[in-house]
């Protein structure tokens, strides 16, 4: 890096005939001074040029001044393979195979902020090695409907959990001088109609549910970039939205970073100039199509912007604000004195991914202690399901990865069992073959006839002779599953899996069902099935992590970051009848009652509750106590509760704090998550878990006043192991 900076210094000094080093080239100078020095040296053409792409994933620097380009990379779970300069297709490099980290639903399911920072640090190192200075992630859109095809990229249904996890992730990424670009800002809660749907939502729901994670990323995580979303809000596209970008993000939150468009999310030059956009990518305009090359000067923030400037139709000072932000991004990343070389595809990164996967896997049900599998007594293991062997790092849209390797569930189980038992595999069900993603000239595959009944009968016959049956099913990343661009059509499992599972459980009662997905699914067979595990999309080390859970090497400690409803109609977005909108507008009639908030309001029992997750040991909660029973607005309340591991295994538990407002001038949820702590307890060990409750924990957003308020009155603190399993409550008063 020092050699690079010396070379840049020499070239720039020669070009400028300067006697001293320009301030902008001094990495140890104040960033704001560097920005102003570089800005006053740039021509109008150079300023406009840095606002828009020069290739599918890069934007130009200023070669004359030695200011480097910006290079972006999808996605939030790994560094995307190189693509051709002016095309979406893979460039077929041989040295761009990354470590695939678990999907962000899996990270959120760890409820472990230390792991969120580890995740960000590791993926940031991979980006830095590949010379990417902007990571297009993480995603923090709220899980509003289980049909959203992109939910697997996000952190669940609760704004407090998402906020708590995104901050350390952003800090971890940016510790490598790589910008985290938090997306998609905002209200991109479905893929259907995503490019144009106008979301109508109350200010209260906007501020209480849909904005907190973004706000935390900006104000606490100090994110250096934000990506706008495709949809509209207040009849303006969110990539150039006055209210979201100028009023809230840049004014109210003091965001000093760069607003980057989603690819193709820009629609108007004047709106893009005036309504907060800084960098434009992926536009298809002025006749641009998949076959049109090098149309970047035709972008809305390119020649059309330059023409308006020369005609005096817009101010150069407005342009300078955008350029300042982009220079600030460059000086924080590619021209930082602290940049390292990073590392890529390393065993250490794979180990970090495995640790996250192991802590994120959720044991949903374990009747009769079917799990963990005891290899002393189990000698014939039957594995059923296409997902046992199907790659899950490829597909799903922009998060698709070219992984260095991927351990399948079957391979992980076989490696763990070795010669201690017989492991037999039958497919049981199949999905249609799909065309390779991002491969130039990829042909539509010839579809073979799938005889679902024959596959099912083969599995049933094999199950009769097995000591245990492990079904590995769920969703995949095919279109209309967990995939960008469209939503699921139903809550049900695809490919006749429900029939398969019901028949296998009937044939062999010792059956465990492993769901691989980024979304909730219906389970009509739940009462008959002894063991159920949610295993997510866990990346490179997925199979090894799953095997560690199934055979008891790791005690499961994951908790659901979203609710599993019994029926789709139990979800507020669907009960209110507004999803997916009429194609032009969608009103969020469920308002602030998203996820468990809706089920509480309607008194509906979930299939599996938000925050739910079992262990191979047992935790006993004592009685919660508080250090006072009344607090003033500027005081804090300390709540403590003893938690003891009364089982025979070491394990981890996520202790959750919910707040209930007993009387409010506006409707409020029955309870809201306002704290959590993951604790590790040896068998027989007890810890005192402490939470601090302050005014912010008790506040809600008042539409009429346009501000957060906390009203005097009686509150309750509920502490439990899930939103539906409250162990202890205490009452206190806010004066």
Q: Write down the pLDDT at residue 136.
A: 98
* 311-357 residue pLDDT tens: 999 999 999 999 999 999 999 999 999 888 999 999 999 999 999 99
Cβ neighbour number for residue 464 with a 10 Å cutoff: 10
Q: What is the 3-state secondary structure (H, E, C) of 180-209?
A: EEEEEECCCCCCCCCCCCEEECCHHHHHHH
Q: Is 447's pLDDT higher than 90?
A: no
> Which H or E run includes 163?
helix 159-174
Q: How do strand 725-734 and strand 713-722 relate by DSSP bridges? A: antiparallel
Q: Is 14's pLDDT higher than 60?
A: no
Residue 210 gets which letter from DSSP? Answer: I
Question: What single string gives the DSSP state of each residue in 72-83?
Answer: EE--TTSPPPPB
Tokens of 108: 């959120």
Of 3.10.580.10, 3.30.1280.10, 3.40.50.1700, 3.40.250.10, which CATH number belongs to 355-560?
3.40.50.1700
Largest CA distance in the chain: 85
Q: Write down the pLDDT at residue 445.
A: 85
Mean pLDDT, the chain, rounded, equals 94
CATH 2.60.40.10 location in the chain: 619-734
Q: What are all long-range contacts of 346-349, with beta carbons under 8 Å and residues at least 24 apart?
A: 346/99, 348/122, 349/99, 349/101, 349/122, 349/125, 349/126
Q: What are all long-range contacts of 697-706, with beta carbons under 8 Å and residues at least 24 apart?
A: 697/659, 698/659, 698/661, 698/734, 700/204, 700/208, 700/661, 700/664, 700/666, 700/668, 701/203, 701/204, 701/207, 701/208, 702/204, 702/666, 703/202, 703/203, 703/204, 703/666, 706/203
Exposure string over 149-182, b if 16+ CB within 10 A, otherwise e: bbbbbbbbbbbbbbbbbbbbbbbbbbbbbbbbbb
Residue 665 gets which letter from DSSP? Answer: S
Q: Write down the pLDDT at residue 13.
A: 41
CATH T-level topology, domain 619-734: Immunoglobulin-like (2.60.40)
Distance of alpha carbon 12 from the chain centroid:
41
CATH 3.40.50.1700 location in the chain: 355-560
Least confident of 11-15, 16-20, 708-712: 11-15
Instruction: With CA atoms as reference, report the closest residue to 402 among 150, 183, 141, 82.
Output: 82
3-state secondary structure of 98: strand
Residue 297 gets which letter from DSSP? Answer: G
Contacts with 161 (C-beta within 8 Å, 6 or more apart), sequence order: 108, 111, 155, 561, 673, 676
Catalytic residue among 74, 158, 262, 486: 262
Cβ atoms of 208 and 592 within 8 Å: the answer is yes
* 228-238 residue pLDDT tens: 999 999 999 99
Cα separation, 396 vs 479, in Å, equals 7
Question: What single string gives the DSSP state of each residue in 595-664?
Answer: THHHHHHHT---SB-TT--B-SS-EEE---EES-SEE-TT--EEEEEEEEE-SSS-EEEEEEEEEEESS-
Least confident of 18-27, 310-319, 564-573: 18-27
Q: Write down the pLDDT at residue 436.
A: 83
Q: Write down the pLDDT at residue 506.
A: 98
Q: What average pLDDT does this structure show over 420-445?
A: 91
Q: What average pLDDT does this structure show over 510-525?
A: 98
The pTM for the full model equals: 0.95
* 636-650 residue pLDDT tens: 999 999 999 999 999
Active site residue 262: yes
Assign 293 a pLDDT band (cuts: 50, 70, 90). Answer: low
Burial degree of 463 (CB within 10 A; 0-12, 13-18, 19+): buried
* 471-482 residue pLDDT tens: 999 999 999 999
Instruction: With CA atoms as reference, report the closest residue to 466 among 418, 428, 436, 504.
Output: 504
Strand partners, 52: 280
């Amino acid at each position: 890096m020092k050699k690079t900076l010396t070379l840049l210094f020499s070239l720039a000094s020669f070009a400028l005939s300067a006697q001293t080093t320009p301030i902008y080239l001094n990495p140890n100078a104040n960033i704001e001074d560097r920005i102003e020095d570089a800005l006053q040296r740039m021509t109008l053409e150079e300023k406009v040029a840095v606002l828009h792409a020069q290739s599918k994933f890069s934007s130009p620097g200023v070669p004359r001044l030695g200011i480097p380009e910006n290079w972006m990379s999808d996605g939030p779970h790994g560094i995307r393979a190189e693509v051709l300069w002016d095309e979406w297709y893979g460039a077929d490099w041989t040295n761009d195979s990354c470590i695939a980290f678990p999907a962000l639903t899996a990270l959120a399911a760890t409820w472990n902020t230390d792991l969120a920072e580890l995740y960000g640090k590791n993926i940031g190192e991979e980006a830095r090695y590949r010379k990417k200075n902007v990571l297009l992630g993480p995603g923090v859109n709220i899980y509003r409907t289980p049909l959203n095809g992109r939910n697997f990229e996000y952190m669940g249904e609760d704004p407090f959990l998402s906020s708590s996890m995104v901050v350390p992730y952003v800090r971890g990424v940016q510790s490598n001088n790589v910008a985290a670009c938090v997306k998609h800002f905002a209200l991109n809660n479905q893929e259907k109609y995503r490019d144009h749907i106008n979301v109508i939502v109350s200010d209260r729901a906007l501020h209480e549910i849909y904005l907190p994670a973004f706000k935390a990323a900006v104000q606490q995580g100090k994110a250096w970039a934000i990506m706008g979303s495709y949809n509209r809000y207040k009849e303006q596209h969110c990539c150039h939205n006055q209210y979201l970008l100028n009023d809230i993000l840049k004014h109210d939150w003091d965001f000093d970073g760069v607003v980057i468009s989603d690819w193709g999310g820009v629609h108007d030059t004047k709106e893009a100039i005036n309504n907060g956009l800084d960098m434009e990518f992926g536009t298809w305009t002025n006749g641009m199509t998949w076959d049109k090359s090098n149309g970047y000067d035709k972008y809305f923030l390119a020649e059309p912007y330059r023409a308006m400037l020369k005609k005096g139709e817009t101010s150069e000072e407005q342009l300078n604000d955008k350029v300042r932000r982009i220079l600030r991004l460059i000086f924080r990343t590619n021209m930082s004195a602290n940049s390292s070389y990073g590392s890529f595809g390393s065993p250490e990164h794979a180990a970090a991914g495995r640790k996250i996967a192991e802590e994120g896997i959720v044991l949903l049900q374990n009747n009769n202690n079917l799990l963990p599998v005891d290899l002393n007594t189990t000698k014939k293991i039957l594995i059923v399901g296409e997902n046992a062997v199907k790659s899950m790092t490829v597909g799903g849209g922009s998060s698709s990865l070219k992984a260095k390797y991927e351990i399948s569930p079957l391979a992980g189980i076989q490696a763990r069992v070795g010669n201690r038992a017989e492991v037999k595999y039958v497919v049981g069900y199949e999905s249609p073959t799909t065309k390779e993603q991002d491969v130039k000239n990829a042909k539509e595959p010839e579809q073979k006839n799938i005889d679902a009944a024959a596959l099912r009968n083969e599995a049933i016959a094999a199950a009769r002779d097995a000591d245990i049956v492990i079904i590995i099913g769920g969703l995949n990343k095919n279109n209309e599953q967990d995939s960008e661009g469209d939503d699921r059509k139903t809550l049900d499992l695809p490919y006749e899996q429900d029939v398969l599972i019901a028949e296998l459980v009937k044939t062999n009662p010792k059956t465990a069902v492993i769901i691989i997905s980024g979304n909730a699914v219906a389970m009509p067979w739940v009462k008959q099935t002894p063991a159920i595990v949610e295993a997510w999309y866990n990346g490179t080390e997925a199979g090894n992590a799953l095997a560690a859970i199934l055979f008891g090497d790791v005690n499961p400690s994951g908790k659901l970051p979203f609710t599993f409803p019994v029926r789709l109609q139990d979800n507020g977005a669907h009960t209110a009848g507004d999803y997916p909108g009429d194609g032009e507008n969608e009103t969020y009639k469920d308002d602030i009652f998203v996820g468990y908030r809706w089920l509480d309001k309607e008194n509906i029992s979930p299939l599996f509750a938000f925050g739910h997750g079992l262990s191979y040991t047992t935790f006993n909660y004592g009685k919660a106590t508080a250090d006072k029973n009344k607090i003033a607005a500027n005081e804090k309340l300390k709540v403590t509760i003893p938690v003891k591991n009364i089982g025979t295994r070491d394990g981890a538990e996520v202790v959750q704090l919910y707040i209930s407002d007993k009387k409010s001038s506006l409707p409020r949820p029955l309870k809201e998550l306002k704290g959590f702590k993951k604790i590790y307890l040896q068998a027989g060990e007890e810890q005192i878990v402490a939470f601090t409750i302050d005014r912010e924990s008790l506040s809600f957003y008042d539409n009429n006043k346009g501000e957060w308020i906390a009203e005097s009155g009686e509150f309750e603190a509920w502490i439990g192991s899930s939103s539906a399993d409250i162990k202890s409550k205490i009452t206190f008063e806010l004066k």
